[in-house]
Amino acid sequence: MVVTGGADGIGAALCRRFAREGARVIVVADRNGEGARAVAGEIGGEAATVDVSDGAAVAALVADVEARHGGIDLFCSNAGVGGGDPDRRNAASSPDDAWARAWGVNVMAHVYAARAAIPGMQARGGGYLLNTISAAGLLSQIGGAVYSTTKHAAVGFAESLAITHGDQGIKVSILCPQGVDTAMLRQGDAKSQPQNLDGVLSPDEVAESVVQGLAAENFLILPHPVVLTYMQRKAADYDRWLGGMRRLRGKMLGA
Ligand SMILES: NC(=O)c1ccc[n+]([C@@H]2O[C@H](COP(=O)([O-])OP(=O)(O)OC[C@H]3O[C@@H](n4cnc5c(N)ncnc54)[C@H](O)[C@@H]3O)[C@@H](O)[C@H]2O)c1
């Protein structure tokens, strides 16, 4: 299996947990090669230094792993980048390069992984794609338009994967946590991040949810189960839900 963003945070916890579950080969892929080597060394896996927003690099990684190990049964496209609106009073305030960077990692990396892994999975009659997205892809992150938009796009792409490939034996799951105690979460002022109101989970707790979700073959893996309630409220009355989000924004971020 391959885990991108495996050098740290949720990806590293997934690598450690899959190793405990007895995974045969775990390839820890990250742009942080040193971190990937450290995690791989710990679990007896392999490390690959890859920028997942580079389609050719992802294709080369998949080709190499398939050539040496005969196939990839599970590809965890987990790497992602965060960030908030520079002007919290303006949802369009992030510069183009921030949009492009997030689009490359939070969206196109999933496309590149699927594009590279699907032919082998089709030929072998199956496989599993796990995409780490975020509750922000279902509900929106207050003060983070770039993050919310790219994560919504990632949900859309994963739905297309599940619809197109479900009957080919290719399973798809999306991992959509709220706050998780990782470097990404610690980047900002944790107290001002509304997604942390429902409790911040450890990466190990998220990995436990993933193991259960993959075993059940659930499309939607929600380490914070309350996210499902919020999705239901949003679907039931969009305007009311937006009003609630505005009130929450006012409380957390001010006017
Ligand atoms: N921490 C949270 O609260 C939280 C909540 C919901 C979703 N997520 C998602 O979980 C995933 C993992 O995030 P995390 O919290 O573990 O963050 P993290 O910062 O601890 O780890 C992210 C890893 O991805 C790697 N990475 C980033 N860009 C890369 C690139 N272009 N190519 C290869 N590797 C790259 C980093 O080097 C790092 O090792 C992300 O997709 C993130 O959006 C995180």
For residue range 145-161, list pLDDT tens digits in order. Answer: 999 999 999 999 999 99
The single residue of 112, 147, 230, 238 carrying the catalytic annotation is 147
Best probe residue, ligand 1, of 180, 189, 196, 200 (max atoms within 8 Å of C-beta)? 180
Distance CA 45, CA 107 (A): 26
Task: Return the sign of the alpha-carbon dihedral for residues 91, 97, 102, 107.
Answer: positive
Query: pLDDT per residue over 118-177, tens digit each?
Result: 999 999 999 999 999 999 999 999 999 999 999 999 999 999 999 999 999 999 999 999
pLDDT grade, residue 187 (50/70/90)? confident
Q: Which of 58, 41, 111 is nearest to 49 (CA)?
A: 58
- Active-site annotation holds for 112: no
User: Which atom of ligand 1 sits closest to the CA of residue 132?
Assistant: 41
User: Which atom of ligand 1 sits closest to the CA of residue 8?
Assistant: 39
Q: Which of 14, 200, 11, 224 is nearest to 105 (CA)?
A: 11
| pLDDT score of 127 | 98
Class of domain 2-253: alpha beta
Distance CA 55, CA 49 (A): 14
Measure 80 CA to ligand 1 centroid, in angstroms. Answer: 4
Query: pLDDT per residue over 238-253, tens digit each?
Result: 999 999 999 999 998 8
Measure 124 CA to ligand 1 centroid, in angstroms. Answer: 30
Best probe residue, ligand 1, of 16, 182, 198, 222 (max atoms within 8 Å of C-beta)? 182
Strands (E), the chain: 2-4, 27-30, 46-49, 74-77, 127-132, 170-175, 220-221
pTM as predicted = 0.97
